[in-house]
């Protein structure tokens, strides 16, 4: 499985439709301070289902929508699409290429799409669970997270190990079954 492309529009500083191709051999994104490097990483986390506005450096989710600049009006919609090469079927899907999209409007309306079809957040979450790419996974470590892991409570650290070991998914299923 490989990250192929990221398309961003109206997300944070990326007002215009921007496409980033992650070609084989690419290892980093460099640029001056404030040019949008962290915003790219946040776009990846957001499209994969991030629910915390705070962890995206905002106070409420619509803060991620392009808020305008000296020469541009604010926009009403943020949209991000990620394309993954799944030819090894690392993610449990019959598709060899997967696209996940997320859109958010200032009105608060939002949607997720899997390969162009509207879906629920749950579908995205389930697809990514135990892949190491889902929410709270460890493929994206933001500044400050390392210290947070070291300082976390034993039970929180346990869930990190469960996620990495791939048993977290089953615990979530069990908890849900017990509630119902
Ligand atoms: P550094 O090297 O300092 O870490 P960076 O390349 O990671 O910088 P980012 O933090 O990704 O930079 O980008 C910051 C820029 O994004 C700021 O100029 C900020 O004004 C802009 N920005 C953030 N949110 C929005 C938004 N909702 N609308 C418009 N611009 C935004
Ligand atoms: Mg940064």
Residue pLDDT, tens place only, 15-31: 999 999 999 999 999 99
The size of the chain, in residues, is 180
- E-assigned strands of 60-162? 77-85, 97-105, 110-114, 117-119
For residue 35, give the ligand nearest its CA: 1
Ligand 1 centroid–CA 131 distance in Å is 29
Q: Based on the number of CB atoms within 10 Å of its own CB, is 63 exposed (0-12), middle (13-18) or buried (19 or more)? A: middle
CB-based pocket (< 6 A), ligand 1: 12-13, 31, 33-39, 63-67
> What are the structural domains, with CATH classification, of the chain?
2-127 (3.40.50.300), 143-180 (no CATH)
Looking at the CA of 33, name the nearest ligand.
1
Secondary element (H or E) of residue 154: helix 154-165
Which residue minimizes the CA distance to atom 21 of ligand 1?
13
Beta bridge partners of 117: 114
For the annotated binding site, the residues are 32-39
Q: Which residues of the chain have pLDDT under 70?
A: 136
Q: Which helix (H) or strand (E) holds 172?
A: helix 168-179
Q: Tell me, what's the ipTM?
A: 0.98
Task: Select from 16, 18, 15, 23 the least CA-distant residue to 7.
Answer: 18
Encode pLDDT of 145-175 as tens digits: 778 888 899 988 887 788 778 788 888 889 9
Q: Whose CA is closest to atom 17 on ligand 1?
A: 34
CA angle 105/107/113 to nearest 5° reads 35
Q: Are strands 2-9 and 117-119 parallel, antiparallel or unpaired?
A: unpaired
Q: What percent of the chain has pLDDT over 90?
A: 75
Cα separations in angstroms, 39 against 7, 126, 143: 12, 25, 13
């Amino acid at each position: 499985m490989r990250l192929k492309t990221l398309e961003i529009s109206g997300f944070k500083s990326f007002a215009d439709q921007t496409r980033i191709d992650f070609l084989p051999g690419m290892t980093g994104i460099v640029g001056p301070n404030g040019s949008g490097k962290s915003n790219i990483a946040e776009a990846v986390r957001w499209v994969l289902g991030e629910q915390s506005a705070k962890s995206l450096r905002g106070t409420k989710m619509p803060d991620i929508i392009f808020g305008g600049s000296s020469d541009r009006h604010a926009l009403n919609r943020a949209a991000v699409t990620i394309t993954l090469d799944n030819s090894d079927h690392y993610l449990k899907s019959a598709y060899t290429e997967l696209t996940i999209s997320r859109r958010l409007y200032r009105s608060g309306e939002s949607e997720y799409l899997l390969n162009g079809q509207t879906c629920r957040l749950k579908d995205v979450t389930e697809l990514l669970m135990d892949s190491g790419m889902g929410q709270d996974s460890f493929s994206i470590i933001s500044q400050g997270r390392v210290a947070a892991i070291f300082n976390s409570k034993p039970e929180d650290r346990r869930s990190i190990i469960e996620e990495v070991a791939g048993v977290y998914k089953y615990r979530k299923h069990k908890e849900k079954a017990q509630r119902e």
